[in-house]
Structures are given as C-alpha cells and as structure tokens.
Amino acid sequence: MLWKLLKYDFRSMGKSFALIWPAALVLALINHFTLPYDEGVVETNELLAVVLIIAFVSVLFAMFVAVMIFVIQRFYKGLLGDEGYLMHTLPVGPGQLVLSKLICAVVTSVVSLAVMFVACLLMVPIRWGQVLRIAFFQDLWQGLMANPDAMVYLLEFLLVCGLSLILFITMTYLSMAIGHLFRRRIIMSVVAFIGLDILGTVYLDFLDRLKILGHILNADTHATFLGFSAMMLPPILLFTAGTIWILGHRLNLE
C-alpha cells in the first residue's frame, strides 16, 4: 500500500514541477550561448544576457519557493485538510501516510537541487570534450587512489546533508500537526516550529554538558560526520513518532 501512496504523491510532484524543472534547464542552455564569455561581444548581446540571467535566477528562486510550498501543502492538504478525509479512510496506518509524504518531500528536494546543479553546469561554457577525455578520468582515478578517503568524506557529507533535510521536514510536519490541534492553526504551527527549534537548542546544550558534542567536534573528520549523523537520528525519530501519534489519536478534521 505504501507503494500506491508514493505513486499518488509522485504523480502530484510531477504535475507541480513539470514546467519549472525543464524551464531552468532550457534557460541555462540559452544563457550558455548568450552570455558574453568572450571578448568583443556587442552591447545588445550583453543586455540580452543580463535579462536572461535575471530570468534564470528568478526560475531558480521560484523553484526553491515551489519546493517549500509543495512540502508544506502536500502534508497539510493531504493529511490535515480536505484530502485528509479520504486518506484516513484508506486501510493504512498514519505511519505509512507520513512516510509517503516524507519520502516524496525528500525526493522532490533532492531532484530540485540536482536540477539547479545541472542547470549551473549547463550555463558555464565547459569544454566537455576535454573534460570527458580518457586522461581526465585517469587523473581522477589516480587522485581517488591517492586519497581513498575523499569518496568516503563525500558520502558522509551527503549523509549529514540528507539527515539535516529530513530533520527539517519532520520538524515542519510535527509543527503543522501540533498547530492543527488549536483553533488558530497557522499561528500555532509557527509557534510550534519555534518551540521545537528552541528544544533543539536545549538538546544541543544537553549534549554539550555531557561532553558528547565536544568529543564529536574534536574527533577526526570521519567521526565528526558520523557523530553529527547520530545526533540527528533521535530528533528525527521523535518528530516522526509525534506526528504519527497526533494523526492517529488526536486528529480532528472538522
């Protein structure tokens, strides 16, 4: 059943970003051939390039805003709003409903970041013929062999970034679930988010008092990355469990 929920959420994601993702890539390609990288470009081309850059940056900003709105709206409308009446009648528990929204939100955020990265690469006049030559990959392989920890560092860094994203999303979900328990739902959701952020500061202070945070910061790079990842797991689990409990025991859609 989780797979069917994911298909439904991913279908909504496709409809929401079907235009903005290709638009960012198309504008990046246009900028690639329009920006005055070479000397002697006429002024009209420079003016056109400025306009296209503004359009490109605007699309990237719109993509960022769209991701934020999508993450909030899919959870609120799907589980706390009008669609919630239908979703909570399905033969699934609130855990699968929350997990489906969470996975879709993470995938949407990651794909949007990937589109931004690829768009920036397309805009820069890289000589891909030289980049993709065999010697380049030989040099890259030799560099990785000389520093085998480089790939591990990258994976650990991506793990920390991914858990940070999940932590932010789960905290947002719990804030909306708490806010839905009150009459002024939007205001109380914001208050709940601020309160959870303060609790996060208290959590870090508690770890610091136990000397755990200091050991993590003073350890080697691998231990630091893994330590930060381990630090984020308890809040993620608590936020997720709190959201599931509210949806299962205290939810009122009236």
149 pLDDT higher than 90: no
Torsion angle, alpha carbons of 187, 191, 192, 195, to 10 = 180
For residue 222, what pLDDT is reported?
Answer: 83
Distance from chain centroid for Cα 187: 24
Average pLDDT, the chain: 85
213 — pLDDT class (breaks 50, 70, 90): confident
For residue 89, what pLDDT is reported?
Answer: 75
169 — pLDDT class (breaks 50, 70, 90): very high
114 in the same domain as 9: yes
Provide, rounded to the nearest whole percent, the portion of the chain with pLDDT above 90: 46
Q: Which of 73, 105, 126 is the last residue of a domain?
A: 126
78 pLDDT higher than 80: yes
- Pick 137 or 20 by higher pLDDT: 20
Please give the average per-residue pLDDT across 165-173, as a whole number.
Answer: 97
Total domains present in the chain:
2
120 in the same domain as 29: yes
Contact 116, 60 (CB under 8 A): yes
Provide, rounded to the nearest whole percent, the portion of the chain with pLDDT above 70: 85
156 pLDDT higher than 60: yes
Residue located via tokens 């470009």: 41
Contact 173, 79 (CB under 8 A): no
79 — pLDDT class (breaks 50, 70, 90): confident
Q: Which of 111, 126, 141 is the last residue of a domain?
A: 126
149 in the same domain as 74: no
Please give the average per-residue pLDDT across 33-42, as a whole number.
Answer: 59
12 pLDDT higher than 60: yes
Q: Which of 73, 102, 126 is the last residue of a domain?
A: 126
Contacts of 168 (CB under 8 A, 6+ apart): none
44 pLDDT higher than 50: no
Please give the average per-residue pLDDT across 130-150, as a whole number.
Answer: 66
Identify the top-confidence range among 44-48, 129-133, 166-170: 166-170
68 pLDDT higher than 90: yes
Residue located via tokens 């409903």: 97
109 in the same domain as 12: yes
- φ/ψ region of 40 (left if φ > 0, alpha if ψ in -120 to 50, else beta) reads left
Please give the average per-residue pLDDT across 86-95, as a whole number.
Answer: 80
Please give the average per-residue pLDDT across 104-120, as a whole number.
Answer: 94
Please give the average per-residue pLDDT across 136-156, as a whole number.
Answer: 74
212 — pLDDT class (breaks 50, 70, 90): confident
97 in the same domain as 207: no
Q: Which of these, 200, 5, 202, 184, lies nearest to 86 by C-alpha position?
A: 5
96 in the same domain as 142: no
237 in the same domain as 143: yes
215 in the same domain as 154: yes
Please give the average per-residue pLDDT across 153-181, as a whole number.
Answer: 94
- Pick 197 or 215 by higher pLDDT: 197
Two structure tokens written together for 7: 């298909």
The residue range of the domain holding 3 is 1-126
